[in-house]
Amino acid sequence: AHEIAQQVKSGVEAAAVNPLEAVAEAPKQLGIITEKAREEFFAKEVPFGSIIYREAKKTTVRPELVAAVVEQESRFKPNARSGAGAVGLMQLMPRTGRWMGAKDLTNPTQNIQAGAKYVKYLNERFDGNQTKVIAAYNAGEGNVKRFGGIPPFKETRNYVKKVRTYEKEYKARV
């Protein structure tokens, strides 16, 4: 917070010296301040938030989306396991985890790294269509392609709604 106050102060001083340059620079500076506040929010308010933020940024996936998937998949429990064999925070199948580079899916960092990479992969496969990305994360890429969108599975339809709701809540809280 002190660092942000210092940045605001220096911005005001710069505006007094050279108003036109300050106006041109303001959106960039505001973006930096906003992103720092976002990073700080994840670090302080979200379990495993520093890892989620860092890995999301590395893969150009929104941290709000990664956090929403983690919340829906495991409720932030690193040792979570599903009956189908999915493991860890992002409930990755072992084969998918290995494909995305994870050796130990119960390790929060490796799990989130692999999960964020997988979300990025799905994002590229579905041309950025977030609804299809979220549905594919739950029901599989093949099912989303076969049905041309959210498959007619009650679980997947509910999953997409819940992830979207969590994502909106994180955006609002940031």
Active-site hit among 55, 64, 71, 73: 73
- 73 vs 51: CA distance, rounded Å: 16
**Full DSSP string of 19-62:** HHHHHHHHHHHHHHHHHHHHHHHHHHHSTTHHHHHHHHHHTT--
Coil/strand/helix, residue 140: coil
Q: 91 near 33, Cβ under 8 Å?
A: no
Note if 141 is an active site residue: no
Catalytic residues: 73
